[in-house]
Homo-oligomer: A and B are copies of this chain.
Amino acid sequence: MRGSVGMLTDRSFKGTKRRQDDRHEPEFDESFRQQFEELLKWRRDVRSFRSEPVDARLVEHLISLASLAPSVGYSQPWRFVLVESDKCRESVRTNFEHCNREALKLYSGEKAQLYTSLKLAGLRDAPVQLAVFLSRSTDHGSGLGRSTMPETLEYSAVLAVHSLWLAARAHGLGLGWVSILDAMGVNRGLSVPSNWKLIAYLCIGYPKEDNSSPELLRCGWEATLPVGQLVLKR
């Protein structure tokens, strides 16, 4: 693959030692589970970043952890593009600004006012920008498990994003998923194959603040649904 970069091969970062023998399953205890629940609770979609850079080896490590995600038929269809050049970043920012102006037109009154007040991207501040694509044409996995629900190939790449998101937060990093983008415009701006599908454009960096509740809840855009209302028994 043209332009691929060297990666850590041992999936270690900063001298992380394997605590467990690979042959013996780890035992997760109550203390770990509590911390993991804190991680789920304090993971946020971050839009404001400090200027502090992120160690490139940490970013590579996060990508290697993302690649441990489940994938249908073990297809591993995720592809990662580290967006570093000013030209590429500018193309994504212009893309976002256009789409955001169009999206604003869908709202009126108070909702429109609130919309304009929201910071919906961190594209100027984020020291790391990572586009995650799906390789639609991959024959890895030989199609297993996706004849009836082919969208599970896309879902596999989404699972990789979530693994990366949680791992980033465990390292004190914030991540913001920008979806107000014309996907094909991103492909063109980044010169990636047209049969790759943009799954997520991620802004990553050390966050200006941490929160245990979503910004869209705090600012009054949307309320939390009671979990009990989301469950049926059959």
Contacts and interface: CB of A to CB of B under 8 A. Distances in A.
Interface of A: 1-7, 9, 11, 14, 16-20, 22-23, 25-26, 28, 30, 32-43, 45, 60, 63-65, 67-70, 72-76, 78-85, 88, 99, 102-103, 106-107, 111, 115, 120, 140-149, 151-152, 154-155, 158-159, 161-163, 165-167, 169-172, 177, 179-183, 190-192, 198-200, 210-212, 214, 216-217, 221-222, 224-234
A103 B179 contact: no
A144 B56 CA distance: 32
Contacts of A63: 227, 230-231
A219 to B, nearest CB: 10
A210 to B, nearest CB: 4
Contacts of A2: 232
